[in-house]
Amino acid sequence: MSPDLDRKETTMDHSPVIRKLRFVDIPKAVRMIVAAMENDPTIHYFRDTSDAKADYWQKKWKYNMAIILANAIRKDEAWTVGDVYACLVFEPADQTEDILDKLVYGMLRIFNRTVAPQLYSRQQKRRGAEWKVKSEEAIRVTLGGRKRSMWYLAELATHPDHQGHGFGSALVRSFTERVDKHGGLSWLMSSNIENTAFYNSLGFITKAEIPLGDSDPDWHGPPVVNSLMIRDVSEKETLV
Ligand SMILES: CC(C)(COP(=O)(O)OP(=O)(O)OC[C@H]1O[C@@H](n2cnc3c(N)ncnc32)[C@H](O)[C@@H]1OP(=O)(O)O)[C@@H](O)C(=O)NCCC(=O)NCCS
């Protein structure tokens, strides 16, 4: 199924019609992702600290997301279903940053280093730093030099009102079809261990787990586990 601008939600065989996300969809897409991620354990860990200042974290997250979506849209790397019921953002393999990428990511980096630390609470900063160290290490060890040549499934969400209708899996299948056409590997970072079965059913296998909170004095729950998952069709035979 290739993404097009058809507004119908399903095809004759009732599979969802996937279309490109458009700039005009951005506000709705941000609201949809925020709603979908409301109960995400990783978002909860980063955002809902006991010393959180107002809703700065949430605001910054939304702005970041809008910028990332806009950059993905201009490169045709963001897809949706129907009236933005679900959304997927990806990065193809072997990408070289163009001038706009450099500008966008440069601006985000500067903002993250200068403004964000003023807005975040002590615990939020510590948890952000924990994520940076642990995720970079897991990516280095697990993907290493392969990362550049792999496709990245950067974002996936379905609005809570529309979950369970096959939109999420249809979006992922469109992505993996695109990857397979080019003959490559793909990876993602799952922020919710409960999604493992969903991603397994689409061919992604957990290769590394990143526990958050295991040494955080202000976190009293079990570690929040993120999973680095890889889809490698050559491993398919050994999965079944
Ligand atoms: C994960 C998510 C994107 C799935 O999207 P969706 O549109 O509901 O998925 P689908 O309807 O295509 O589901 C396909 C199948 O996976 C199952 N499934 C969906 N989410 C699941 C989950 N969290 N755990 C186990 N199975 C799940 C569905 O029951 C369905 O199974 P079936 O075909 O046997 O009925 C959606 O639940 C979501 O947005 N969750 C919140 C945000 C999130 O976790 N995003 C991913 C961050 S890594």
Q: For ligand 1, say whether the CB of 229 is within 6 Å of any of its atoms.
A: no
Query: How much is the pLDDT for 54?
Result: 76
Q: For ligand 1, say whether the CB of 40 is within 6 Å of any of its atoms.
A: yes
Q: Which residues of the chain have pLDDT under 70?
A: 1-14, 236-240
Query: How much is the pLDDT for 236?
Result: 67
Q: CB of 54 within 8 A of CB of 121?
A: no
Closest to 21 in 3D by CA, of 32, 12, 11: 32
Q: For ligand 1, say whether the CB of 200 is within 6 Å of any of its atoms.
A: no
Q: CB of 89 within 8 A of CB of 151?
A: no
Mutate to test the pocket of ligand 1, among 135, 163, 192 (most ligand atoms within 8 A of CB): 163
Query: How much is the pLDDT for 15?
Result: 75
Per domain, the residue ranges of the chain are: 18-239
3-class SS of residue 141: helix
Quickly name the fold that domain 18-239 has.
Answer: Aminopeptidase (3.40.630)
Q: For ligand 1, say whether the CB of 196 is within 6 Å of any of its atoms.
A: no
Q: Summarize pLDDT for 71-115 with one digit per residue, the tens.
A: 999 999 999 999 999 999 999 999 888 999 999 899 988 988 888
Closest to 47 in 3D by CA, of 37, 58, 36: 58
CA distances from 229 to 65, 118, 189 (A): 22, 33, 6
Query: How much is the pLDDT for 87?
Result: 98
Q: Which atom of ligand 1 is nearest to the CA of 170?
A: 12
3-class SS of residue 109: helix
Residue type for position 234: S
Q: Summarize pLDDT for 134-156 with one digit per residue, the tens.
A: 999 999 999 999 999 999 999 99
234/238 Cα distance (integer angstroms) = 9
State how far Cα 103 lies from the chain centre.
21
| Distance in Å, CA 163 to ligand 1 centroid | 7
Q: CB of 206 within 8 A of CB of 232?
A: no
Residue type for position 139: I
